[in-house]
Amino acid sequence: MNPSQDDHPHVPGPSLWPVGFAVGVVVLLVGIIVSWWVAALGAVLALVFAFLWVRDITRESHLTDAPAVAPETAAVSGDGGLEPSYAPEDRYSRSTFLELSTLGVGAVIGGIVTAPALGFMIAPAFLKQGEPDADIGPITDYPEGKFMVTSFTLDPKQGDVSRRTAYVRNNGQLNGKPSFTIISNHCAHLGCPVQPNGPLDPKATKHLGDVTIVPTVSIAGFGCPCHGGQYDTEGNRTAGPPVRSLDRYSYSIKHGRIFLGKPFSVGQVIGTGAQAKIEKWPQRYPGEPVKGIESWLYPIQPPR
C-alpha cells in the first residue's frame, strides 16, 4: 500500500462552467421559441461551456491520478553496465474513463429521448407559419383614387375566424405598374377595428365569393371608436393613444387580380398615394412602438 496515494475518490473543484452550460441550454430552448438566431447563440454558449467544463474535469483527474514522480534510477544490465529506468507513460485512470464514458453515453441517450419530444411540442409552431396570399378580386373592381372597404377570408378552411378587413385604394400607375395602398383596420393602440371617417355606399356593395367590397363616398381618414385614435388617409397617427401608424399589407398582382401578402408595421408615411415613402418595419403587435427607446422594451417577436 502506497501511503502517498489518496484513498478518497477525486472530486472536481468548484467551477462556473456548469452555470454557463446551463445558461446556454436555457437560451437555446428560449431561442427555439422566439428566434433561430437566439437558439444558435444558446447552442454556441452551451458547446463552449461544455468543452471548458469537460476540459477542467479531465485536467483535474489527470493531475490527481498521475503517479508520484520517483527519482530516476539506473538498473544493472547483464554485462555489468547501467541501464536507465523510465517511469511508465501517463494515462487516464479507469475511474476517469468510466466517468467520462458514462457522461457521454448519458448525453447521447438523453438527446435521443428528448429530441423527438421537443420536436412534437415545438415543431408545429414553426411549420406552415403565416397564411396563403388572399385573392381580393380583379383590379377593375377597385376604381382609381377611391378607398374600398374590403372584407376577405385569409384561410377558407378556418372560416370566419380568419376574416379580415382592409382599406384598399387604387393609386394608379407607378413606373408602368399598378400601385395600391392597402391599410389594415387594426388600430395600432389595442387592435380595435378602425372605421373610415366618411360615409359608405352600401348599395354598390359587391360580393366576390368570400370577398365583400363596399365603396366609400368620401373619406377624411380613419378613427378608432374604442379609445379615440385618429389617422389620416395614409394611416399616419394624428391624435389619440396609438403609438405608430396603421399597419399595411404587402401585395402582388397576378393575372389582373390583387393578392394580399404578409402585413407589416409602419413607422411613418411621407407623401401620398403612389409617391408615398413608407417606413416599413416587421409586423408588431398593437401598442408596441417600432422605433425609439420605447421599442427596446419589446425586443423579441414570436415567429409569424
Name the more confident of 121 and 197: 197
Mean local confidence (pLDDT), 240-260: 92
- pLDDT confidence of residue 188: 93
Q: What is the pLDDT of residues 211-227, one digit of tens each?
A: 999 999 888 899 999 99
- pLDDT confidence of residue 165: 92
Name the more confident of 298 and 80: 298
Residue 119 has pLDDT above 50, yes or no: yes
Q: Return the C-alpha cell found at 140.
A: 377593375
Least confident window among 155-159, 217-221, 232-236: 155-159
Q: What span, in angstroms and rounded, lies between the C-alpha atoms of 164 and 258?
A: 15
- pLDDT confidence of residue 296: 83
CATH architecture of 134-292: 3-layer Sandwich (2.102)
Percent share of the chain, pLDDT over 70: 75
Residue given cell 401585395 in the structure block? 251
Q: Return the C-alpha cell found at 35.
A: 428566434
Residue 137 is which amino acid? G
Percent share of the chain, pLDDT over 90: 32
Residue 24 has pLDDT above 70, yes or no: yes
- pLDDT confidence of residue 273: 86
Domain boundaries in the chain?
Answer: 17-66+92-125, 134-292
Tell me the pLDDT band of 193, cut-offs 50, 70 and 90: very high
Q: Of 113-127, 131-145, 213-227, 284-298, give the range with the top mean pLDDT.
A: 213-227
Q: What is the pLDDT of residues 35-89, one digit of tens each?
A: 778 888 888 888 888 888 778 777 765 555 555 555 555 455 555 555 555 555 5
- pLDDT confidence of residue 1: 47
Residue 203 has pLDDT above 70, yes or no: yes
- pLDDT confidence of residue 89: 53
Q: Write down the mean pLDDT value for the chain.
A: 79
- pTM beyond 0.85: the answer is no
